[in-house]
Amino acid sequence: MVGRNTRIAIVGGGMGGLTAAIALTKITGVQVTVFEQASRLGEVGAGVTIAPNAARVLDRLGVLDRIRSVGAVPDGHGVYLDAMGGMVTDAAWEDTAKQYQNIGMYRPDLIDALASAVDPHIVHLGHRLKSVEQRGAGVHLTFENGAEEDFDAVIGADGIHSVVRAAVDQHPDPVYSGYIVYRGVMDASRLPDDWPMISQVWMGNSRHFMAYPLQQRKLFNFVAGIPSDRPLNGPWSGPAEVSELAAEFSGDGWDPRLQHFICRIDKTFWWGLFDHEPLSNWSRGPITLLGDAAHTMLPHQGQGVSQAIEDSMALATFLAAAEDVSDIPEAFRRYTAVRMQRTAILQNGSRRAGAMFDAQYEFQNLAKRDADIRVGRDFRRGAVFDYDAQKVAEQALGRFRKVQYA
């Protein structure tokens, strides 16, 4: 079995990379080294959702309690609203068994919680990857700071601009969605005392606005999707004026409650929304991909981070079944085969969800949009939230073994 003599590098110390480090250490016992290009572990100060399917994984990895302690579990179901605040449907952000619920997380808090479960000695900061080269049965990494090191295998968790991805001959062009988002967090004390501690989504007029609590309800996250033709040849993000955001949701066509929320915001930033088409392959020999490096998706289903967490559990499960280092390429192929289909469905589903929120294409018929959102609620609970990444990987291992020994 692979174990303490097996050296695996994870490129990227974000949420996916740190979860992979936890999973590989706990489940396989291999020597893990995490390389992060930044000088310290951290994330942009905005919110992210840990969905029930990801919470299930984090529970088994022993880190869910500390994540819950710094996150925010909502008071109940969220709501989808039309532009004027009329109810379209509730949003059941929980699995069927009601064991796991959505957790709103401030990104820096999530990074800190995951990092606290990782031996700090295995994390190497200030290491921006320059090149990845397969040498014999192993992999040689070169960094811009001059460091070089050899490993038995490498996992690329280095995001949409992944350097590792080029080593598996995948060069997808980022696809601009035609939308930017205004994002940020605000102190919850700025809101009325009776403001509901749930997720709320207002939809209409080719744009939408989402808000939900973070950090034990001390903060509120907000995300507003706006169509934009601004040139994005340079930076994909930057500071923005709150007045720009307010103007997008002004007038009689929008809920006064939403306008009240926006007028309490003191700071915001904009991001261009990009994804890429599903890849044809994630792995090549002892090199594989995880998270955004493998399946960048739009944020409209709240599954980006959760899919990286699922990836981590599946990858660790397949690696744990490898007899020795020579079996790692096959473990990576099996991992890729199982994970590619699920994430491709969710990549495309995230695009479709954005079109529904913004009444685009066939969803310009608001009755159809609202009906589809209601149907999607129950589908999401069964197909997305009830998904058990570890169980699916173990079942796949059984099928692979039957084929191998047939």
- List residues with catalytic annotation: 212
Kind plus residue range of the DSSP H or E element containing 64:
helix 64-70
Burial of 208 (0-12, 13-18, 19+ CB in 10 A): buried
For tokens 């699922």, name the residue: 310
Q: Which H, E and C letters describe 306-354, residue by residue?
A: HHHHHHHHHHHHHHHCCCCHHHHHHHHHHHHHHHHHHHHHHHHHHHHHH
Of 81, 112, 38, 367, nearest in space to 198 by CA: 81
Distance between CA 73 and CA 95 in Å, rounded? 14
User: Going by DSSP bridges, is the β-strand pair 287-289/153-156 parallel, antiparallel, or unpaired?
Assistant: parallel
The structure tokens listed for 280 are 């044809």
Q: Could you tell me the CA-to-CA distances from 366 to 142, 214, 357, 371, 374 in Å, in that order? A: 53, 31, 10, 8, 12
Residues 279 and 294 sit within 8 Å (Cβ to Cβ): yes
**144 CB neighbour count, 10 Å cutoff:** 12
Distance between CA 135 and CA 141 in Å, rounded? 10
> N- to C-terminal Cα distance for the chain?
22
Q: Which amino acid is at 372?
A: D
